[in-house]
Amino acid sequence: MTEKNIKSLRKSMRLRILLYSVVIVLISVAVSAGVSVATIVNDYLNEKKKELGDISVLLGEEIAIEREGGLYFSFDEYAERYYAATGFRVTFIGTNGEVLADSRSRENIVYMDNHADRVEVQEALETGTGSAQRRSESFGRDYLYSALKQELPDGEVVVVRLAMEVDKNKIAAEHGRAMVPVSVLIGIVIGGALAIMYMRQITTPIRELEKQLAEMIEKTRKAENIRSEFVTNVTHELKTPLTSISGFAETLQGGAGDRPEVRARFLEIISLEADRLARLIDDTLIISDIENGREQMPKDADIDVRQAIDEVIETLKPMAESEAVTLHFDCQYNMIIGGDEGRFKQLLYNLLENAIKYSGEGKNVFVVAEKGNDDCVRVSVRDEGIGIAEEDVERIFERFYRVDKSRSRDAGGTGLGLAIVKHIAKLFGAAISVESEPGVGSTFSIRFPV
């Protein structure tokens, strides 16, 4: 993924987030408005229910008093009067459910259903009062009912029922309007907060991803820089022996070759420089092979540590002898580690070769292979040579870093030996540690996991 891709991704994400945020805000505005309107309608209906109840008590008492007077008494008249005064439908129902009078259907009263099954009537007969909200079977509209059981002085029991038509939309329109701006505001605040939370939740991982990508790009850039620097260094390092070879060859051609002792010395130099050239090329190839991962190290192949080290020592014995350095090897147990034997030997060869190169006549080099207490194999190479200053220890694993360039060159070094060691150790998952004191000697230890 490139930076440009990320940018367009970010843009489309931003659009989508904006869209979602608007939707979230709209939904919460709708929910908040809905909840507050529903609350208002409910409050209104409760208030009305209480009002209906109060009026039915009043009406009940009035008819009881009127009956007591023994005067002419008509339920119709009361129904009519109270309807006229309150606007509520008034119904009187007998205990058997017969409708005695109804303010809304005076003439058709004989056709009205028996009301014994009406919830509010049943409730009133059982407990004294009752209420209900439902669709009226008589008129096909929603009504709020409040009923009261009233005992008259002559022992007759009637149910006084008051009802009002309920048009929720009308109530909401009339009483809920004032709440709309407030609920919109509440909706915007809650919706906005939710949208911000949602946005955070989405953008945090994207930011994290961007950060990782930026790091990756930086890493790649660095790796590219290191690579091109390496190429420059290699070219430079190759040029030196080549210049020297062609220089001596030309001199020989120019007549210097006539003198045998000069010719022999020049040819020796040419041969040494050619060796160095070959070593440089070899080391460069090894590094590039390991770096390009062309060598997938077989993890399950067993390496017999003692035998591998013995073979490396054998190879380097002639060099040690010519430098008058004595090699010692101590390995108490048979140890096996998993990995590529060739690479293991290469690592040890480089360390041992350095130990010999940077020692000096009459010195000792000790190779020790032992079992670590944490189930690992530890191989260390200790010398009594020139040692390394503290500030250089950190740098010696860099490619072409040499503490003393001419000494390294004289000793046939390429400046790549420890860089290869570091790479191979990484392949093995091994840790390297160096202890060194100038003038006293150095110890390189590698801890291999088993």
Which residues contact ligand ADP (rule: CB under 6 A)? 350, 354-355, 358, 383, 385-388, 396, 401-404, 408, 413-419, 442
User: How far is the C-alpha of 337 from the C-alpha of 355, rounded, in Å?
Assistant: 24
Residue closer to ligand ADP (CB basis): 137 or 437: 437
User: How far is the C-alpha of 147 from the C-alpha of 90, rounded, in Å?
Assistant: 10
Q: How far is the CB of 403 from ligand ADP (least distance, A)?
A: 3
Following DSSP, what letter does each residue of 178-232 receive, concatenated? THHHHHHHHHHHHHHHHHHHHHHHHHHHHHHHHHHHHHHHHHHHHHHHHHHHHHH
Q: Is 329 helix (H, G, I), strand (E, B) or coil?
A: strand
Which amino acid, residue 196? I
Q: How far is the CB of 207 from ligand ADP (least distance, A)?
A: 41
Angle at 417 between CA 374 and CA 346, to 5 degrees: 60
Residue closer to ligand ADP (CB basis): 51 or 323: 323
Residue closer to ligand ADP (CB basis): 75 or 349: 349
Q: How far is the CB of 325 from ligand ADP (least distance, A)?
A: 11
Residue with tokens 């790009």: 217
Q: Comparing C-alpha atoms, which of 199, 189, 142 is closest to residue 167?
A: 142
- Antiparallel, parallel or unpaired: β 326-331 and 364-371: parallel
Q: How far is the CB of 374 from ligand ADP (least distance, A)?
A: 26
Residue closer to ligand ADP (CB basis): 93 or 352: 352
Residue closer to ligand ADP (CB basis): 194 or 403: 403
Residue closer to ligand ADP (CB basis): 250 or 410: 410
User: How far is the C-alpha of 271 from the C-alpha of 256, rounded, in Å?
Assistant: 17
Angle at 402 between CA 268 and CA 227, to 5 degrees: 100
Q: How far is the CB of 418 from ligand ADP (least distance, A)?
A: 3
Q: How far is the CB of 388 from ligand ADP (least distance, A)?
A: 5
Residue closer to ligand ADP (CB basis): 28 or 442: 442
Q: How far is the CB of 238 from ligand ADP (least distance, A)?
A: 15
Burial class (CB in 10 A: 0-12, 13-18, 19+), 29: buried
